[in-house]
Amino acid sequence: MALIERYQKTTDISYWEGQIPMSYIYTVGRAGEKFFREMMNGRIFGAKCESCDVTYVPPRTYCEKCFARLEDHYADVGGKGTVHTFTECHEAYDGTKKQKPSIVAMIRIEGTQGGIVHWLGETHFKDVYIGMSVEAVFKAKKDREGGILDIKYFRPIK
Ligand SMILES: [Zn+2]
């Protein structure tokens, strides 16, 4: 086949099917480190840009709008928010069927831009709706490890 010719069907090229196992390390960065360290204290932190009057969750080192440095502007944003969108999961990460489905939601933290994807608890899928007020439920302090799973789930505010 000449260089300027093109394959018309994927079956015209040689290939093999398979999987490539990969492991990776993702650095959380300076803002992420603050975010996760504060999880151990049972607090959700964001970064506020005074010029733009925007608070980002998770926190950023720079404002996305004006590029102002935000590292000295981290703040506790509380644990309350609203359900932005949600779904019900019937499969575990390994593709096996879960014994009990879980509810996963994108939570917009009150007064901030951005959000957190996490589980919803103490509710049923049929009762969840977009705009539902929720609050973070943290693990017991002794069980926190400085990660997003220090939040057990978000639950409806009654
Ligand atoms: Zn800004």
Question: pLDDT-derived band of residue 2, with 50, 70 and 90 as boundaries?
Answer: low
> Which stretch of DSSP H or E encloses residue 125?
none
CA–CA dist 110, 154 (Å, integer): 13
Q: Residue 91: inside a domain, yes or no?
A: yes
Question: pLDDT-derived band of residue 120, with 50, 70 and 90 as boundaries?
Answer: very high
The total number of structural domains in the chain stands at 1
Q: Residue 140: inside a domain, yes or no?
A: yes
Distance 46 CA to ligand 1 centre (A): 13
Question: pLDDT-derived band of residue 100, with 50, 70 and 90 as boundaries?
Answer: very high
Q: Residue 51: inside a domain, yes or no?
A: yes
Distance 62 CA to ligand 1 centre (A): 8
CA–CA dist 154, 158 (Å, integer): 12
Per-residue pLDDT reduced to its tens digit, 4-37: 777 788 777 777 788 888 888 889 899 999 999 9
Distance 50 CA to ligand 1 centre (A): 7
Q: Which domain holds residue 80?
A: 29-156
Per-residue pLDDT reduced to its tens digit, 123-156: 999 999 999 999 999 999 999 999 999 999 999 9
Based on the number of CB atoms within 10 Å of its own CB, is 72 exposed (0-12), middle (13-18) or buried (19 or more)? exposed
Q: Which residue has the tokens 């489905």?
A: 101
Name the pTM for this structure.
0.82
Q: Residue 111: inside a domain, yes or no?
A: yes
CA–CA dist 20, 32 (Å, integer): 29
Q: Residue 6: inside a domain, yes or no?
A: no
HEC assignment per residue over 54-66? EEEECCCCECCCC
Per-residue pLDDT reduced to its tens digit, 38-93: 999 999 999 999 999 999 999 999 999 999 999 989 999 999 999 999 999 999 88
Residue 64 belongs to domain with CATH number: 2.40.50.140
Q: Residue 3: inside a domain, yes or no?
A: no
CA–CA dist 76, 47 (Å, integer): 9
Q: Residue 2: inside a domain, yes or no?
A: no
Task: Provide the pLDDT for residue 138.
Answer: 98
Q: Residue 24: inside a domain, yes or no?
A: no
Residues near ion ligand 1 (CB < 5 Å) are 49, 51-52, 63, 65-66, 68
Task: Provide the pLDDT for residue 132.
Answer: 98
